Amino acid sequence: MAASDWTPKKINAIVPVPERLDLSSLRKTGLKPGEVAMAEAGSIEPDAAIVAQIRAMDFSENAAKRAVCSSLLATSAPWSRC
């Protein structure tokens, strides 16, 4: 709820919530017809030259590796993680 000037206001409201919530329809049951399994994501070692450059700036090796991985310089595939 918001006032006419868009500031949030608290209201006293009763929201009906069921005693039990059935989420079984959301449970994983395997591949459905027409689906293809994704390839296993392997661990990728970050580029040693880039890690060395970051290490030269007085960062720890672990911090340098994490920086390379988080900036996606480790690989050309944006979905790959180190």
Structure tokens at 42: 């392997």
In this predicted structure, what is the pLDDT of residue 55?
95
In this predicted structure, what is the pLDDT of residue 81?
54
The CA angle 41-42-47, to the nearest 5 degrees, is: 120
What are the sequence ranges of the domains in the chain?
43-82
In this predicted structure, what is the pLDDT of residue 62?
93
Q: How confident is the model at residue 80 (pLDDT cuts 50, 70, 90)?
A: low
Q: Which residue has the tokens 């929201």?
A: 15
16 versus 41: which is more confidently predicted? 16
Model pTM score: 0.42
| pLDDT tens string 18-75 | 999 999 888 888 888 888 887 776 667 788 898 999 999 999 999 998 888 888 655 5
3-state secondary structure of 55: helix
